[in-house]
Amino acid sequence: WNKGGAENFRKTVLSVLSANNISFKTKFHGVMHLLNSSMFLCVFIVSILSVPTMYIKEIYPRFDWVFSVLSFFVLSTIILFICYWFTYKSIQGSSFDNFVDYIKIFFTFFSVALGFSLHNSIAVLEGHMGKRSEFVRTPKFNLNNLTDSWKGNKYLTKKLSRNMILEFALMGYFLFGMYSAVPLNDFGLFPFHFMLFAGFGFVFFKSLTARA
């Protein structure tokens, strides 16, 4: 689906920008909507750069002001947190217990979404580059009763995919990022690296157990 979003961007963005019957505001919103799946590519790039950024900040303190300005973008996460909370409380209620449950659900969701950033970034890049690939439908396991098993189905493969190997490597990479916070005495990105570590770890191990 994310690849399809990128393909739609390639096919329609020039038509949107050259249209004479819509305002600049509408064009801007249209382009942003067409780029929605490309968000994962931006997230992935920021994630990868976040670890060396810690060392750059330590070695070149004159750039501290740049990192202070960049920290402003944490506001986007706060906005997401608030917006989703209003939706959640309208369904579940606004009690303290529900708010605590919401916090756990939100950060779990956020971590898993970060864990999917590699897979989705590859799909987005393929879409922007116009790479053709087959459309693999969601596997249908033909499970009709509780005694049926999906294991051994021909849709499944026992081999580790390239993505899985990279996800395992990224799990280790962000574990190193968490460790780096200690000698550098810089814990500003520690929560971010923890969510990345947990997200990539979750995606990797879920993929691994699905092949068992």
Q: pLDDT, tens digit, for every residue of 105-120?
A: 999 999 999 999 999 9
Domain of residue 66: give its range.
38-133+154-210
d(CA 40, CA 46): 10
Q: pLDDT, tens digit, for every residue of 140-152?
A: 666 666 665 655 5
Cβ-contact 170, 200 below 8 angstroms: yes
pTM of the model: 0.82
Q: What is the pLDDT of residue 159?
A: 73
* Nearest residue to 40 (alpha-carbon basis) of 168, 182, 199, 173: 199
d(CA 183, CA 193): 15
In a domain, 6, yes or no: no
In a domain, 55, yes or no: yes
Across all residues in the chain, what is the average pLDDT? Answer: 88
Q: SS3 of 7, please?
A: helix
Q: Where are the alpha helices (DSSP H) in 35-95?
A: 39-59, 64-70, 75-92
In a domain, 140, yes or no: no
CA dist 98 → 18, 93, 109 (Å) = 48, 7, 16
Q: How many domains does the chain have?
A: 1
Q: What is the pLDDT of residue 147?
A: 62
In a domain, 203, yes or no: yes
Q: pLDDT, tens digit, for every residue of 40-72?
A: 999 999 999 999 999 999 999 898 888 888 888
Q: What is the pLDDT of residue 111?
A: 96
Q: Label residue 131 by pLDDT band (50, 70, 90).
A: confident
